[in-house]
Amino acid sequence: MERIAWHQYFMAQSHLLALRSTCTRLAVGATIVREKRIIAGGYNGSIAGGDHCIDEGCYVIDNHCVRTIHAEMNAVLQCSKFGVPTKNSDVYVTHFPCLQCCKALIQAGIKTVYYAKDYKNHPYALELFKQAEVQVEKVPFHENSLDSNFKEKSHLILELIQELRNQGENEEKIAHFENEYIRLFNDE
């Protein structure tokens, strides 16, 4: 069995954290890592004990929900709450950090920001990261890295499609299965 790569491992943690998000607009997760050890995690949601967007709806001011605390901030605040230093750490985020989170990450001493998906990448955030000598790298998350049988499943489906073709099945039906294969196994 092949071990999951570090970037995929930490990005998987962030995607798992995003599943706890209470934001109805965008689920985001963040994992702070130092020396290949997870020191904190966060997701976007309301303050502890507060109303959640999933229950009360978003509280939008100037096209921004003010009810939520962003995942990156929650992770940094978790470190603060428990006295864990963030200097020279890395953060893995499901989406590119907003401008405010960018500034907080810089001030927290984060040295590298890894993100899986572009999301309103603000040019000034990139400029600030550069000024602060914070490395920024897009690391697309491959969900198949979590499935140790991914290759076997992929090959089995290809064999079944070929068997349908060999048996003279309708090309339209085969094309449908091939398109579904591409949709499901496009990371191979």
**pLDDT (tens digit per residue) in 140-178:** 988 776 666 777 777 788 888 888 888 888 888 888 888
Q: Name the token pair of 173.
A: 């039906």
Comparing CA positions, the residue from 94, 78, 68, 75 lying closest to residue 16 is: 94
Name the DSSP class of 152.
H
* 0.85 surpassed by pTM: no
- Six-digit token string for 120: 């309103």
- Is residue 11 classed as helix, strand or coil in its secondary structure? helix
Q: Active-site residues: which are they?
A: 72
36 Rama class: left (phi>0) / alpha (psi -120 to 50) / beta: left
